[in-house]
Structures are given as structure tokens and as C-alpha cells.
Amino acid sequence: MTFLATPRVNYPARLQRAELLASRYPFAKEILDFYRHVAAFQHEFYKRLPNRWGKQPVAPAGGDLRSQPHMSLLVESFGNFLGVVKGHGPAPLAGYARELRDQGTANWTETLSEFWKTGLLESPEPSTDDDDISDSKPFREFLARAFLQPYAEFISGSMLPPVLPTTVSRCPRCSGLPLLGVLRPEGDGGKRFLQCSFCSQEWEFRRIFCAHCGEDQEQKLAVYMAEEFPHIRVEICESCRYFLRTIDLTKDGNAVPIVDDLAAIPLGLWAHESGYKRIQENLLHT
């Protein structure tokens, strides 16, 4: 098994792609416009990390990405991120960002530490009609996830590639669940990779294999596509009823998987209405 090291993190490409897709898909414009504010902050935060890191090694001892984070560095920037969300986010999320900002650094430390240790390790539970719409947990998780993403990408990029003897369904860096499949051109076809929902690392993965339960019978693994998104596949497993969205770069080499996924709102609606659950939701649950 070979391992694909994550390409250089390219936030300008993410921002440019979000702007393009916002003009192409009017139904996704509001979501992508908000994402652009988030990604602009992530870009600046990511760029500043090397100079602000200090003398301690970036790569964690023992190869555990989720070892103790550089909390003082995180806390000094988290308030600024909360300000971005307060100024540009949807009203309920903006209101929660304002509340969290007022609670101070002790609460910020708890929020970030908890998500760093446990975030994106389990598939989310489907919401029900009985769920309290005022529950702040989704807002809290979004804020921690969006803020920590560039930090996790920075650390992941400093680590040596692990050796993968078998197909693995969790990120070999941080044990996070896969967010996406990515088909990258190779020869006359494409090679399949999974992309981590936490640190964006990619690793090679079998083509005919469910990334959730390991089902490998082709008749139980279906692929659905929509004319509007010819380069995006919804890969369904009838055994576990989970799905994975895959960005096919052999059909659109200009796609930026993490951004194109956000824009594919109708595909997510169709899958959920058909009774399938996503292995791991994207940042904005589209």
C-alpha cells in the first residue's frame, strides 16, 4: 500500500473555487460566501503558524497528531475567529459565537481541547424531531472544527508518511473518519483515495470497498450521480446504509474536493431523504 502525502495546503485555490462555484450554483451562494470568510481566516492563521510556533517541534512525539496541542498559540487567535463568525455567520451561529467570545479563555481552552481529542472520531447521530433546536452543541463543534482545521493540516504536513500494510478506513494520522473520496488520475483511469475530515490527509483506498463497514460485494455498492454535478459521485453501501461523496478529478481537474463538496447540496439532500447517512458530515453539513 502506497501513501499519498497531502499536497501543499492551498487556501487561495479553495477561496477561488468557492467564488467560482458561488456564481455557478445560486442555491449554494450563501453557504459558499460564508465559507469564504471562514477560509480567509484559516488561510491567514495557517500562514502565521510557522513564525508563531516557537522552538518546540511541530511533529508530535510518537506520531500522534492528537497529542497535547499548543494551546497558548490557539487561544491567542480563537477570539479573532469568533469575531469573524460573529460578523459573517448565520444569525444563530453568530449569536453563539458572541456568547462564547464573552465567556473568556478558560472556556475557549475547554472547547478546543475537547474537540482536538475527540472530534470527528465517530459518525454523527442523525437528528430527530425531538432534538432541541436551541442545543448549542452543533455550534460549538463547528467553531472548534473550523478553527482547528488549518492547525491540524499544519501539523499533519510536518509528519513523515506512515506505512500502511492494509486498507484502512480511518486516517492514519489522527484516526479521523473520512470526509470524502477522491479519484485522482492515474494511467487510463483513476486511483481512489480517502480524505480525512480532521487533518485533510489523503490515503490510498480500494475502489470496490465500503469505507464504513468494509463491504466488498459489488452488487451491494452502488454509485449515483446527478447531471448537475458530473464529477461528483454518491457511493452508497446497501449493507450499512452509509454513503461517501467522491470528487472525481479525472472528470474535472480544476475541482477542489473540500470546496466542491460544500456546493453539492442537492446530492446530500437526496441521500438523506433516501435513508442513507453520511460517514462524516462536511464543515457546513451540506
User: What pLDDT does residue 162 have?
Assistant: 74
Domain membership of residue 5 (yes or no) is: no
Please count the structural domains in the chain. 2
pLDDT of residue 4: 52
Q: Which domain holds residue 92?
A: 11-123+131-156
**CA dist 85 to 39, 71, 78, 97, 151, Å?**
11, 21, 11, 6, 18
**% of residues, the chain, pLDDT over 70:** 93
Q: Which residue has the cell 454509485?
A: 223
In the predicted structure, residue 135 carries a pLDDT above the cut 80: no
Is 165 inside any structural domain? Answer: no
- Under the banding of pLDDT at 50, 70 and 90, the label for residue 126 is low
> What does the pLDDT read at residue 63?
83
The answer to whether residue 57 scores a pLDDT higher than 50 is: yes
Asked if 104 and 184 sit in the same domain, the reply is no
Region 104-133 average pLDDT: 83
- pLDDT value of residue 54: 84
pLDDT tens-digit map of 151-208? 999 999 998 877 766 689 999 999 999 999 999 998 878 899 999 999 999 999 999 9
Look at residue 108 and tell me whether its pLDDT is greater than 50. Answer: yes
Do 274 and 146 lie in one domain? The reply is: no
169 within some domain: no
User: CA-to-CA distance for 20 and 26, rounded, in angstroms?
Assistant: 11
Q: Does residue 161 fall inside a structural domain?
A: no
pLDDT for residue 123: 87
Whether residue 91 sits in one domain with residue 15: yes
Q: Is residue 163 part of a domain?
A: no
pLDDT at residue 150 tops 90 = yes
Mean pLDDT confidence for 140-148? 98
Claim to verify: residue 182 and residue 118 sit in the same structural domain: no
Between 267 and 135, the more confident residue is: 267
Question: Does residue 115 form part of some domain?
Answer: yes
Reference 148, options 185, 190, 197; nearest CA is 197
CA dihedral sign of residues 132, 137, 141, 143: positive
Q: Does the residue 283 lie in any domain? A: no
Angstrom distance (rounded) from CA 5 to CA 204: 10
The answer for 126, left when phi > 0, alpha when psi is -120 to 50, beta otherwise, is beta
Verify that 95 and 222 share a domain, yes or no: no
The CA-to-CA distance between both ends of the chain, in Å, stands at 32
Q: What is the mean pLDDT of the chain?
A: 92
What digits encode the pLDDT tens for the residues 231-261? 999 999 999 999 999 999 999 999 999 999 9
Q: Do 136 and 197 sit in the same domain of this protein?
A: no
Pair (221, 268) in one structural domain:
yes
Within a domain: 168: no
Same domain, 67 and 200: no
Q: How large is the average pLDDT for residues 56-84?
A: 92
Task: Round to whole Å and give the CA distance between 180 and 196.
Answer: 7
Q: Same domain for 79 and 151?
A: yes
pLDDT tier for residue 133 given thresholds of 50, 70 and 90: very low
194 and 144 within one domain: no
- Check whether residue 193 and residue 79 sit in a common domain: no
Grid cell locating 47: 500562514
Note whether 197 and 135 are same-domain residues.
no
Between 76-85, 119-128, 153-162, the lowest mean confidence (pLDDT) is in: 119-128
